[in-house]
Amino acid sequence: MKKILWDFFPIVLFFIIYKQFDIYTATATLMCASAVQVLLDWLTTRKVEKMHLVTLGLVLVLGTATLLLQDERFIKWKPTIVNWLFALVFFGSHFIGKRPVIQRMMSGHVTMPDTIWLRLSISWILFFIISGIANLVVVFNFDTDTWVNFKLFGMLGMTLVFVILQSIFLSKYIQDDEIPENPDTGGS
């Protein structure tokens, strides 16, 4: 849960600044918050999550376009582009390497048959595709206020529900860290 909140930190700041000022000030804040997020990741762990780097890159490119051209459409496309890039990476991992990316990320904590890993990977691919589509539906059918609310509450809500459902599904496969007792210790 803490990780999800950290992942959404720039979006929360974007939302707060948008409500106080406008989309352009919020975009500049999002750009700074994303850079701070990556910097703090690096300073505290000496590594940066690829998701944060991809997001930072897109925020800087699309945010700069938004600010220079004074066109909010660019920053509104970012969630769709990020989600579809992740869907593409997850999909591509089925053809590059021996295991899907989700299995590479989680195999140290979860042991499952390959068919279950495949289902899990496909569910993430579909989630990313649907999230991108949902963003576009809001972008093209609602005003900026509605989009900003959806970006924070709708996307966060969708992600939380999906993660909870995934956790329930995965709970029977989570490895227990306890050391099992061996009944055949043979006495001394």
Q: Is the pLDDT of residue 97 over 60?
A: yes
Task: Kindly report the backbone phi and psi dihedral angles of residue 38, in degrees, each rounded to the nearest multiple of 5, phi listed first.
Answer: -65, -45
Q: What is the pLDDT of residue 51?
A: 80
Measured distance CA(24)–CA(33) in Å, rounded: 14
Assess contact for 44 and 107: CB atoms under 8 A: no
Tell the burial category of 115 from Cβ atoms under 10 Å away from its Cβ (0-12, 13-18, 19+): exposed
Q: Is the pLDDT of residue 150 over 80?
A: yes
Specify if 186 maps to a domain: no
- pTM metric for this prediction: 0.81
For the stretch 42-84, pLDDT in tens is 999 999 888 888 889 999 999 999 999 999 999 999 999 999 9
Specify if 138 maps to a domain: yes
Q: What is the DSSP letter of 113?
A: -
Categorize the per-residue pLDDT at 146 as very low, low, confident or very high, splitting at 50, 70 and 90: very high
Categorize the per-residue pLDDT at 106 as very low, low, confident or very high, splitting at 50, 70 and 90: confident
For the stretch 159-178, pLDDT in tens is 989 999 988 888 877 765 54
Specify if 180 maps to a domain: no
Q: Is the pLDDT of residue 104 over 50?
A: yes
Range of the domain at 110: 2-170
Specify if 175 maps to a domain: no
> For residue 151, which of 128, 126, 134, 130 has the smallest C-alpha distance?
134
Domain count of the chain?
1
Specify if 178 maps to a domain: no
Specify if 68 maps to a domain: yes
Specify if 181 maps to a domain: no
Q: Is the pLDDT of residue 107 over 80?
A: no
Specify if 32 maps to a domain: yes
